[in-house]
Structure 1
Amino acid sequence: MELPEAEEACSEVSPMAIPHGSNETSYLLPPNKEDWGGHGIPDFVYGQKELVPKGIQWPRNGPSLLDTLPLSRFDSALCLAWRQRMELGLFRYCLGELQTQTLPGAVGFVAQLNVERGVQRRSPQNIRSVRQAFDPEQFNFNQIRPGEVLFRLHREPDLPSALQQDDILVVINVSPLEWGHVLLVPEPARGLPQRLLPGALQAGVEAVLLSSHPGFRVGFNSLGGLASVNHLHLHGYYLAHRLPVEGAPSEPLDPGGRLHLLQALPAPGFLFYTSGPGPDLEALVSRVCRATDYLTDHEIAHNLFVTRGAPPGKTSSSSALTGVRVILWVRKSSFGIKEGEAFNVALCELAGHLPVKTSQDFSSLTEAAALAVIRDCLLPPAQAGEVQAALVALIAKEEQ
């Protein structure tokens, strides 16, 4: 595979950078581009002890103290390799520190100005169905440059699983939302369409548990839910701010408490929760994928967000990051990028993180305007109620 010329190297990168003394050098590219193709893909091998379900908290005195938190081995490997790729010019634009504001209001939207992503990201593929088959003639992750791959996630034998496990490539997103924005891509050679599979979701949840940063999140956009590439992948990225979904209150939808309704703004969603790795996590993954299978089969677009957070219930304390929340939203199908809106509604926007495209929109955006854009993407109440009833019925079958 011939390697394209790298873009002009970035002179500055985000201050959320790994210290140069980090020893995770096995994930760095050799200095000469001619050697990248033969570099091979290093394995990031992790075991049970590195999955940390508790003890990760936001600093009490704000995100400015995040740099003082100890980094996990996963964070160190990912961020050091990601920073190197940024300095080598493998991204479509240089990502510095993004202008950020919390919108006044009850929700607590975190808005960020990211003009370059709005202008320079790859155009979405021609997608017309949530169930569309993989097309090898369209752009896919078998076509990326060797240097875009950071490493392969690999579980140690002490992490047995009843779920089918795929090799997961951790790849830079060349049009990053924020610092450390990567894609988790299961065995790209298999040509899997953008339909969530248990092995991929389990890797995403475990990636959150591998990070000691409270703001490392993972998400999934379905086709029709603003996925721009029809090749199975999840997103992972760092955001040094709390989000409303971390601790928003919820109510149970089934007697066993396996499915909850997150009613708080910015959008109602279905909440699944696990306190940590093991059988409970695998049960959650299977449960979520049964729900997304139903949605895909019925041509219902959806977005999913994985974050550390509080247990389900009436609590609204976003500081109680005692486990992992998986939030699933159903929405109207939307194919392509909507022009004229301040932001497009996908996984991060539904969670309360708004990457805004223009300076004018960033300076004028209000909570009410943001909520109006999001509400326009949601299913009508009657259809949303039908979906809720169907998912509750799916969960009830577990008891039979």
Structure 2
Amino acid sequence: MWKHFKFDPRTINFSYDTDDKLSDFDVLLHSAWDRAVAEGQFKYKIDQNIKKRILDGDLHYVIELNPSRFDKRRLPDPFERVDTPFDKNRFNFNKIKDEEILFSLDDEQQTDKHLVIINNSPVRPYQVLLVPNRQLEQSQILTVDCILFALRVVASSAYPFMYVGFNSLCGYASVNHLHLHGIYMPNRLYIQTVKCSPFHVNSNCYLFDLFDVQGFAFEIKHVDEFDKIAQRINTVTNYLVSSDVAHNMTIMKGDSFSSSQPALRVFVWLRQSNIGAKTFHQWNIGCLELSGYTFLQYEEIFNDANEAKFRECINGVALSSEVQQKIRDDVKNLLDQ
């Protein structure tokens, strides 16, 4: 049986500029992940020394070479709508082996509400999947409980570049069973420091407009804000689902948008839908790529990549300026309520 980790708000860490490398949470995750490696639970051996580049430019975009992820992973399912219902006949996380479950993270010990499991085709070392309320068979639509789970994972880690990301259906999600990605990033990402404009300050909400792909950025400076901000994030994502707007979410530690203290930053980007099965081009634009990181299949593309190409690809999935303006207006009205 897997272990349980009890979330302790007294030990959380919001700083991304720290010498602390591993907390009790990190130690448990790493040891459980190493156990799964030793048991042969993964589809391929992940190289601890993945080939990496940090691209020249303002974003310091991070790319890594991981051909096995493309060659050996399970084929993604096709989706036509963001609100596609759960289908128990397709792959879902109730079909995984118990050995793929690393531990649970909950408010109380000895519960199995929120599971941390392996991704058996990992992006990089110690990547995990976060599966909330697995038995409820929820489709890939964010809930308040799921967002809280993600916030607790990032805050429980002492690692400065701990990352949690979410892809909606038609936003490059591969599985229609509610889950997020947890990744130990190799370097600081630009989203930890990028400036955003005030949007709805009473909701701790800012506007991300660095790319043509726009989004909303929330900040959390204290654990007591978790519930309140999770509700507001969910107000935005529920609206996007009801409007059939594909979206991506990322959570990392970073600078506060409004002060000099550290904060958790939560980005929700709105973008064009990818209809049908995910295809493997030079790179796909999901939560990772919007955040300043990607992994690539071919060494020649890896060697030829530059920031201008990534910006062009990201801008290519933007909604029209008119649609984005309507979404901003609607979201402002919702947050006013």
TM-score when normalising by structure 1: 0.80
Give 1:338 shift: 2.8
SS of the residue corresponding to residue 253 of structure 1 reads: strand
Match in the other structure for 2:10: 49
From 13, 28, 41, the equivalent of 1:90 is 41
Match in the other structure for 2:336: 396
Match in the other structure for 1:227: 173
Match in the other structure for 2:290: 350
Match in the other structure for 1:309: 254
Provide closer, same or farther for how the CA distance between residues 394 and 242 of structure 1 changes in structure 2, counting only shifts above 3 A. same
1:151 correspondence with 2:151: no
The CA distance in 1 between the partners of 2:25 and 2:250, in whole Å, is: 20
Aligned partner of 1:43: which letter?
A: H
Give 1:265 shift: 4.7
Task: Tell me if the contact between 2:204 and 2:220 (Cα under 8 Å) persists in the aligned partners.
Answer: no
Structure 2, unpaired ranges of 5+: none
The CA distance in 2 between the partners of 1:283 and 1:248, in whole Å, is: 23
The CA distance in 1 between the partners of 2:174 and 2:261, in whole Å, is: 31
* Larger CA deviation: 72-81 vs 377-386: 377-386
Task: Tell me if the contact between 1:111 and 1:362 (Cα under 8 Å) persists in the aligned partners.
Answer: yes
The CA distance in 1 between the partners of 2:121 and 2:285, in whole Å, is: 17
From 337, 351, 354, the equivalent of 2:278 is 337
The CA distance in 2 between the partners of 1:126 and 1:250, in whole Å, is: 34
Match in the other structure for 2:73: 121
Aligned partner of 2:30: which letter?
A: C
Aligned partner of 1:338: which letter?
A: T
The CA distance in 1 between the partners of 2:191 and 2:28, in whole Å, is: 27
Match in the other structure for 1:253: 199
Higher relative contact order (CA 8 A, sep 6+): 2
Aligned partner of 1:45: which letter?
A: K
| Equivalence map 1:376-395=2 (5 Å) | 376-395=316-335
CA RMSD of aligned residues (A): 1.9
Task: Tell me if the contact between 1:275 and 1:323 (Cα under 8 Å) persists in the aligned partners.
Answer: yes
From 69, 90, 107, the equivalent of 1:138 is 90
SS of the residue corresponding to residue 223 of structure 2 reads: coil
SS of the residue corresponding to residue 296 of structure 1 reads: helix
- Find the structure with the greater CA-based Rg: 1
Provide closer, same or farther for how the CA distance between residues 289 and 208 of structure 1 changes in structure 2, counting only shifts above 3 A. same
Structure 1, unpaired ranges of 5+: 1-39, 60-68, 158-164
Deviations 1:62-84 (A, max 9, x none): xxxxxxx4420000000111122
SS of the residue corresponding to residue 202 of structure 2 reads: coil
Provide closer, same or farther for how the CA distance between residues 255 and 88 of structure 1 changes in structure 2, counting only shifts above 3 A. closer
* Larger CA deviation: 121-130 vs 286-295: 121-130
| Equivalence map 1:265-344=2 (5 Å) | 265=211, 267-278=213-224, 280-313=225-258, 322-335=262-275, 336-339=277-280, 341-344=281-284
Provide closer, same or farther for how the CA distance between residues 113 and 58 of structure 1 changes in structure 2, counting only shifts above 3 A. farther
**When you count strand as a share of all residues, which structure comes out higher?**
2
The CA distance in 2 between the partners of 1:83 and 1:76, in whole Å, is: 11
Aligned partner of 1:303: which letter?
A: N
Structure 1 stretches of 4+ with a deviation exceeding 3 A read 265-268
Task: Tell me if the contact between 1:166 and 1:199 (Cα under 8 Å) persists in the aligned partners.
Answer: no
SS of the residue corresponding to residue 212 of structure 1 reads: coil
